[in-house]
Amino acid sequence: MLQVGFIGLGIMGKPMALNLLRKGYSVTVHDISESKVAELVQAGASPGDCCAEIASRCDIIILMLPDGPDVEVAVLGSEGILEDANPGSVVVDMSSISPVISKKVGAACEVAGLDFLDAPVSGGQPRAADGTLAIMVGGKPHVFARVLPVLEALGSMVTLTGPIGAGNVTKLANQIMVACNIAAMGEALVLAARAGLDPAIVFHAVRGGLAGSNVLNAKAPMVLSRNFQPGFRISLHQKDLRNALSMAESMDVALPLTSLVQQALIVLTNQGKGNLDHSAIVMFTERMANLEVANALASV
């Protein structure tokens, strides 16, 4: 039976690992949180004491970690994957990180006789839970084909976008579009509320037109209900936009809208809102207007 290792059991990683178990895969898990590991073990997973142990026992090792430095430690560091991995194993990094780090880690894996894919995801915790993530993959076609059945257990759309690093370039493009969309949605709802309209009615009126989108359908109800329980945290989106802007600067590409939204995310993080869902980007515009969308009619 194919042995799958899963490192990182956060908001996204835990439901993804659970989906692999539900699909019948043998899964060994590791996380800095013992309680999260215990929860997965109760669901049928095996525990791994460190990344090296996971690598020694598994054919495919999946990473779902917060940022590039975490991935470097998990793969290249002491007790990392490269210390005890079996030649021919595949490392699949599903974290959203800088493409530069993806290429660095991929090169190190190749030297050690391992295959590597960068395969970041989009869809947030709800789609991680129901196994319908969009997965953007960078790597060699034959490695992609080998891992595809595992990825299809996690996502409804799995696309090979190019060589190593291409997955994270695609993810950065995705994150730019999502962040700017949420920011525009927030401004629109604040404007409508200030004008005395019911923002819920405005949402329903525009969702069927050209302004309608998956982002609008997923995030507007969260704003209207003031439910900012994180499916994807502001702090992580801020990290993604930072990586996008750094990459853009290295290629002399101007991203003015991304820069503006990034500044709003920094302000919200400094206000202690970094752990809220990124739908809370609306709070930046609400504060400037001194108006809360959900309670706007009561204050007009």
Domains in the chain, ordered, with CATH? Answer: 3-162 (3.40.50.720), 169-299 (1.10.1040.10)
Residue 286 is classified by DSSP as H
| Percent residues over pLDDT 70 in the chain | 98
- For residues 13 and 65, give the distance between their C-alpha atoms in angstroms, rounded to a whole number: 8
Contacts of 245 (CB under 8 A, 6+ apart): 255, 258, 259, 262
- Annotation says 171 is catalytic: yes
Instruction: Map residue 14 onto helix, strand or coil.
Output: helix
Concatenating the DSSP letter of every residue in 82-134 gives: HHHPPTT-EEEE-S---HHHHHHHHHHHHHTT-EEEE--EESHHHHHHHT-EE
**Tokens at residue 278, please?**
């990124």
**Tokens at residue 55, please?**
């690598």
Give the number of other Cβ atoms within 10 Å of residue 2's Cβ. Answer: 11
Residue 276 is classified by DSSP as S
| Percent residues over pLDDT 90 in the chain | 96
| Averaged pLDDT, 15-42 | 97
Torsion of CA 154, 160, 164, 166, to 10 degrees: -100
Q: How far is CA 122 from CA 55, 58, 128, 171, 266, in A?
A: 26, 25, 9, 8, 22
Give the number of other Cβ atoms within 10 Å of residue 279's Cβ. Answer: 27
| Averaged pLDDT, 219-229 | 96
Catalytic residue among 171, 219, 239, 273: 171
Q: What is the pLDDT of residues 177-209, one digit of tens each?
A: 999 999 999 999 999 999 999 999 999 999 999
Give the number of other Cβ atoms within 10 Å of residue 268's Cβ. Answer: 23
Sorting pLDDT into bands at 50, 70 and 90, what band is 296? low
| Res 267 pLDDT > 70 | yes
Query: pLDDT at position 300, please?
Result: 43
Query: pLDDT at position 162, please?
Result: 98
| Averaged pLDDT, 14-27 | 97
Instruction: Map residue 154 onto helix, strand or coil.
Output: coil
Contacts of 270 (CB under 8 A, 6+ apart): none
Query: pLDDT at position 295, please?
Result: 66
Query: pLDDT at position 1, please?
Result: 75
| Averaged pLDDT, 31-47 | 96
- For residues 101 and 106, give the distance between their C-alpha atoms in angstroms, rounded to a whole number: 8
Q: What is the pLDDT of residues 137-171, one digit of tens each?
A: 999 999 999 999 999 999 999 999 999 999 999 99
Torsion of CA 80, 121, 168, 110, to 10 degrees: 40
Say which amino acid occupies 279: S
- For residues 16 and 92, give the distance between their C-alpha atoms in angstroms, rounded to a whole number: 13
| Res 250 pLDDT > 70 | yes
pTM over 0.85: yes
Contacts of 79 (CB under 8 A, 6+ apart): 50, 51, 52
Instruction: Map residue 178 onto helix, strand or coil.
Output: helix
